[in-house]
Structure 1
């Protein structure tokens, strides 16, 4: 297994799923708040017709937060026929519910209502949609927004989830390849959290990283069908850096990043992001690829892990050399690894 066993241990340490025991209290709080919102919306004349988890938990790419916070992204859906003209109105109702239930820092942001529940290390986002048939529109606007800055805007959360979860373009062992794709997303999200300042990391959106990796994913498995995550990551990063997401600016070595949503409204995920954000992302992705390639070229597992620990953080553990007297060589881990290009 070589370096792959260390990637597996890293993945098992950082991954988070909605059904995980560590998530139990957050899940119970989410369910309770959801019922309170439904009651309030019903009393207000626009009953909830659907609700669903979206984001990383819906597509199985969630990771444990470094600050121990649990994130919930819960969509609330009302019928278009019942929806108020003002999209801020239902968001104010959610804000009232959250404040009464002990949440702090409750804010009506442009795409959602967001709040924290410190007792459970819980951060929660509630986007509100109105739906007509299969068409969704998102309640957009902050509290106090002028008419031109608030709207029911085109959105397609279900198709976005389906696009990320789709494995139809993979040849052969589709499930194994899609599982590898999800692992790569988790690795890169943890890398972002480790390598960037908190302020910059917030602007390197998880959905942007996920779309780039999905678009550029290059699966890699050895001749026995065993995954080679390091090779897959290297090849996928090479594709990302050459795909055209990074737009060279007039000043040499400066970039903007542009990644289009793969579904309606097809907007740029990083719209409005600074040149500084794009430049940092390009340079650090380039360095990540270089470090992964450096690890692949090493012949010693401990040295490989030291290199990867540097880019991913201490959750990518370096084995104790005293307990690794029979360290396997990396050549065993990477021999026969082949990359395939059936990405999404």
Structure 2
């Protein structure tokens, strides 16, 4: 049996988006945007006597959760929440507040900003091509002065009708805390995050031509948060020696996900359609995959099944080079394949120190 734990760690090092050094430029752009918004809103209050509420900002999404990966096409992003200190009743049309933000950033970059359904996106370019973007999610409260206040995110685009715009209860910081606190043991938590990042790269590889048909990254993250079982074992006789098996942990998670799909209907050709429900653990508690069609969900299940079968083949492969080639087929060329001369064809033991990076 080929042991590829070291290659899985190398793979994670390649795809993992670090939140500090590598994202310095993004953080700088974020801070400039926040400064411009605060300055513009203050000018509106003083010069035009408009009652523009103040806001607090916070990082959210995969950047803050530590589940971010390098985008294959170079479009890096950072998700920022803007929590405005007002009641949502101040803006009966939630798009009005998003437009206020968008207008304040007019001309800020050559590519400009755009009011999208769940955020305001500010795009930047380098050498004439899209390089990265900042997504600003807009929030208010039911009652900003209440100690039990609830947060709501603005949904809708410019020109959205009443049926296509609304305030939706949301708890992004609680979701981040939920992901961060899945496992008390640090080694188990690091493995958990590595497997999520690997599955997100698998998604970009296997759904490269599917666009919006692909399962969302947050859906994969929450599914892992619900069903992931760590494969980290400490030798009771050698407390500093830890056996870590990311391959087994990933295989078991994928198999569990496949088992949770339920048949929904049968097509004319006799094939079965399936759905997978993954519920947000915080408000609004909705099914993350609800917008995927049965056909899309069935394709998702088929590709997960193919991944599971591949991981089984990798586990049973005696040649580490061949095992890693199989992994490349699922995860892309970033997965390392050792030279045969350096492997002796078979791998060493799956022993990794507790200092494995997250």
Q: Is the 8 A contact 1:15 1:64 kept in 2?
A: yes
* Cα RMSD (Å): 2.2
Partner of 1:204, secondary structure, is coil
Match for 2:62 among 56, 60, 81?
A: 56
Distance 1:141 1:69 in 2: 23
Equivalent position of 2:16 in the other structure: 15
Structure number, greater radius of gyration:
2
Q: Which runs of 4+ in 1 moved over 6 A?
A: none
Match for 1:254 among 262, 269, 273?
A: 273
Q: TM-score, normalised by structure 1?
A: 0.88
Match for 1:123 among 115, 127, 133?
A: 133
Match for 1:178 among 189, 195, 215?
A: 189
Equivalent position of 1:338 in the other structure: none
Q: Is the 8 A contact 1:138 1:155 kept in 2?
A: yes
Any stretches of 5+ residues in structure 2 without a counterpart? 45-49, 236-240, 352-358
Deviations 1:101-136 (A, max 9, x none): 115263322211124212271122111000324410
Equivalent position of 1:318 in the other structure: 337
Structure with more helix by fraction: 1
Q: Is the 8 A contact 2:17 2:70 kept in 1?
A: yes
Q: Is the 8 A contact 2:151 2:169 kept in 1?
A: yes
Distance 2:254 2:110 in 1: 39
| Cα displacement (A) at 1:95 | 1.8
Any stretches of 5+ residues in structure 1 without a counterpart? 335-344
Equivalent position of 2:167 in the other structure: 152
Q: Is the 8 A contact 1:200 1:277 kept in 2?
A: no
Q: TM-score, normalised by structure 2?
A: 0.84
Distance 2:112 2:298 in 1: 31
Number of aligned residues: 326
Match for 1:294 among 313, 316, 319?
A: 313
CA separation of 1:41/1:279 partners in 2, compared to 1, >3 Å: closer, same or farther?
Answer: farther
Distance 2:9 2:273 in 1: 35
Partner of 2:242, secondary structure, is coil
Deviations 1:303-326 (A, max 9, x none): 1111111110000011122333x3
